[in-house]
A and B are shown apart, each in its own frame.
Chain A
Amino acid sequence: MEITIDIDSPLPQFEQLIEQIKAAVTSGALKPGDSLPSIRQLANDLELNNKTVAKAYQLLTRDSIIETKGYRGTYVHPKAKTNCKFNLQEWTLRKLSETVSELREAGVTDSEIRNAFTGALNGPPEK
């Protein structure tokens, strides 16, 4: 299974990596339990910074598409195919939209929602 990184693409390199690994899992080119190259190997082969590949692997691990088994290496997660179908961005947007609707119904203004959202992102509200 070969992947290609286009360095002229407007899509960030780590996202290209994520998309192609997800595509490989969805198409069945990568099966659950298949081993993946180390961060260093992939970064060297693609002439990318180790941190770029590490970020892609970190996000794929968070989404349970890959899993790291210590020194033994990185493997495709047993439920990777199902998890690939889950769109985290879409889910986040839906959840936020529901909350915003509830707040508006309660009479909270957009400006108050914006300030509260910024506050929530920056840390828990002070009591």
Chain B
Amino acid sequence: MIEIYSFFAMFALQILALSVVFPARFVRYTRAKALEYPAEVLAQVYPGVDPLEATEKLLMRFRIAHRVIAVSGLALLGWMAANAPPLTGMKMMIFPILFLLLQMLPMVFLTVTGLRQIATLRAASLERKRKATLQPRGLFDLISPLRAAVEVAIYFAFVAFVLYLVHVAANPIPASLGYPLIGAATAGLSLQAAWIYWRLHGRKIPLESPADRMSTTGMQAKHSVYGTTSTVVFMSVVILLPRMGLQDWLPFALSTFLVLVALQFCASVTLPPRSHTVS
């Protein structure tokens, strides 16, 4: 039973991290960012609209959505606790995954809204004086070569480990499990690389200063390294636990991984000093 209670504790942490802590940090961050945008520029793009009021409305909906999700998460936790004996092992794993997708929904909605605003600002071509730094940007300005090398080494070690288990090990894992795991790790790493490349060399986000761009991209790069590492470690644990006869710990392992992802989300939001926030 200890593995089930450990899983419940981790699931409660998942609810707390992604539906309580993350929204609070994100709201504070967005408010501070909204104050940085020049009011006269926004008035040109959105005539007759108070941008700060509109941002507050949006953030209010975001918080309400997260509160509803947090309450439904607690209800789900209660339901799982009541049905724990029949729901064990792999059957239990579907709930934290589905709940994570639910927790991501408000952020997806905000991202779509943000992308639409970027497109509007870009189309308006508001910046009459455009600034740039005369310094080349490269990956190693953001993360150390050692960190990047460690990430790549971890990826190749994982691929070698999975190939060993599929083709060489005495008790091999099916290729239908091994290759999708390699594919998932490769896709994750490639997506992160593409995202960092785009942030480094792609078009800038309107009204974003060069210093802001470097700091946010640097943080994203750092977190993507942690993300890839934790994903690869988690996938290795998923392979190893059943081989060690500990398949009942899989939901706990999954939930721990999701909590790590949630904590990364929280850490990726740089909070401004408290004096910058609007009460």
Which A residues are within 8 Å of any B CB, using their own CB? 1-8, 21, 24, 29-30, 35-38, 40-42, 44-48, 73
Chain B 194-207 per-residue mask, 1 if CB under 8 angstroms from chain A, else 0: 00000011111000
| Cβ contacts A to B, 5 pairs, < 8 Å | A4-B131, A5-B129, A6-B128, A7-B128, A38-B136
In the bound assembly, the distance between CA atoms of A3 and B131 in angstroms comes to 6
B207 CB, nearest partner CB in chain A, Å: 11
Let me know if B132 is at the binding interface, CB within 8 A.
yes
Chain A: CB-nearest residue to B208:
A45
Contacts of B210 in A (CB 8 A): 2, 45
The answer to whether B136 and A35 touch across the interface, beta carbons within 8 angstroms, is yes
In the bound assembly, the distance between CA atoms of A41 and B215 in angstroms comes to 17
In the bound assembly, the distance between CA atoms of A30 and B125 in angstroms comes to 30
The answer to whether B133 and A1 touch across the interface, beta carbons within 8 angstroms, is yes
Let me know if B137 is at the binding interface, CB within 8 A.
yes
Chain B 10-53 per-residue mask, 1 if CB under 8 angstroms from chain A, else 0: 00000000000000000000000000000000000000000000
Contacts of A24 in B (CB 8 A): 134
Let me know if B274 is at the binding interface, CB within 8 A.
no
The answer to whether B203 and A47 touch across the interface, beta carbons within 8 angstroms, is yes
The answer to whether A47 and B131 touch across the interface, beta carbons within 8 angstroms, is no
Residue of B125, B127, B129, B133 touching A37 (CB-CB under 8 A): B133
The answer to whether A36 and B134 touch across the interface, beta carbons within 8 angstroms, is yes
B240 CB, nearest partner CB in chain A, Å: 43
Let me know if B279 is at the binding interface, CB within 8 A.
no
List residues of B (58-93) whose CB comes within 8 Å of A's CBs.
Answer: none
The answer to whether A46 and B130 touch across the interface, beta carbons within 8 angstroms, is yes
Chain B interface secondary structure, helix, strand, loop or mixed?
loop
**Among the interface residues A8, A35, A40, A45, which one has the most CB atoms of the partner chain B within 10 A?**
A45
A-B Cβ contacts below 8 A, count: 67
Residue of A35, A44, A47 touching B127 (CB-CB under 8 A): A47
Chain B 135-157 per-residue mask, 1 if CB under 8 angstroms from chain A, else 0: 11100000000000000000000
Known contacts A2-B210, A40-B201, A41-B201; A47/B130 CB under 8 A: yes
Contacts of B125 in A (CB 8 A): 47
Chain A: CB-nearest residue to B202:
A44
**Among the interface residues B130, B132, B204, B210, which one has the most CB atoms of the partner chain A within 10 A?**
B132
B150 CB, nearest partner CB in chain A, Å: 26
12 new A-B contacts at CB < 8 Å, known A41-B201, A45-B133, A47-B125: A1-B133, A1-B134, A2-B132, A2-B134, A3-B134, A7-B130, A30-B134, A35-B136, A44-B201, A44-B202, A44-B203, A73-B136
Contacts of A36 in B (CB 8 A): 134, 136
Chain A: CB-nearest residue to B211:
A2
B30 CB, nearest partner CB in chain A, Å: 24
> Ordered nearest first, which 8 A-B pairs have the shortest CB separation?
A45-B132, A1-B134, A37-B136, A46-B130, A5-B130, A46-B132, A44-B203, A6-B129
**Among the interface residues B129, B134, B201, B204, which one has the most CB atoms of the partner chain A within 10 A?**
B134
